[in-house]
Amino acid sequence: MKRCVRWLKPLPLRPRDTVQVVAPAGPFEQAPFEAGLRILSERYSPVVRPDIGASHRYLAGDDFRRQEELSHAFLDRASRAIFCARGGYGSSRLLPELPIDKAGPVAFTGFSDLTSIHCALQALGRVSIHAPVLTQLGRQSTQVHDYFFRLLESAEAPPPLTGNATYVAGTAEGVLVGGNLSVFSRLLGTPYMPPLDGAVLLLEDVTERPYRIDRMWTHLRLAGVFSRVRGIVLGDFTACEEKDANYSSADVLRELARDAKVPCAAGFPIGHGAINYPVALGTHVRLDADAARLTFLEGAVSPG
């Protein structure tokens, strides 16, 4: 496979580096945020705006506050990384005004609603890190913390991750893109959709009933997404069961994946579940669906 040479990787982090903490989406509970911030502070030197705890309806403050905070984080050349307080909703509202095309090689991290920002970065050929937000970080194991820090600090490829089910056998190699199914599907038809030809697509979600998963997946199919990607990696689909149904969300996903007719493995510890391993979007991976194994062919950060 001919690899793209245009992807821009973030610079590697070092202990005590300055990092930015932002809240571009929904408001957050203070206790889990502080637990995650303590873990981050043990390794790096986080900068937090005093108004990060703002709340406006279902958002962490109005669009101006959140856009100003995130734009500053992207443009701050003294900072090596950006960590998000939580997901929720609201990141996509900021996309038109974000100066990510002018950002330096900073590591953007987060997941769930932050998928919109990841996709916008990949649309510009930039690598970013699909990873726990601060309100989730405190609930993660030390193994996940160590994996996260290694991913941010070492240019070497991280250890592979393993799922628990093969939906469509085969192998696929390509650039990893995607994230949250609901958010990713909403970017179809916008300039923020990442390049899909030859990609390996990561999908995960939370509290979406099976028929809604089917609807969003069908939207991707009708838009031609599955005719362009080479493989599908399914992370956790958390709390997605229909009450009293005689089928599961996994049954629905397995059937949908078989219809997509590209290698697909499921059950990877990525997303809203109890374990959320970070992965670098915009890097080359190999999916061995038969073994439900995702191998990373390069590191997330540049050699420095």
Positions marked active-site? 112, 204, 272
CA pair distance 125, 178, nearest whole angstrom: 14
DSSP E strands in the chain: the ranges are 18-22, 45-48, 81-84, 107-110, 128-130, 161-162, 165-168, 171-180, 200-206, 231-238, 264-266, 279-281, 284-288, 293-296
Say how many residues make up the chain: 304
Q: Which distant-in-sequence residues (6+ apart) come within 8 Å of 221 by Cβ?
A: 259, 260
Tell me the HSE value of 30 on the side-chain side, using a 13 A CA sphere. Answer: 4
CA pair distance 145, 264, nearest whole angstrom: 27
CA pair distance 177, 193, nearest whole angstrom: 10
The type of residue at 170 is G
CA pair distance 244, 251, nearest whole angstrom: 15
Signed CA dihedral, 181, 145, 22, 36: sign only: positive
Q: Among residues 274, 270, 196, which one has the least CA distance to residue 230?
A: 196
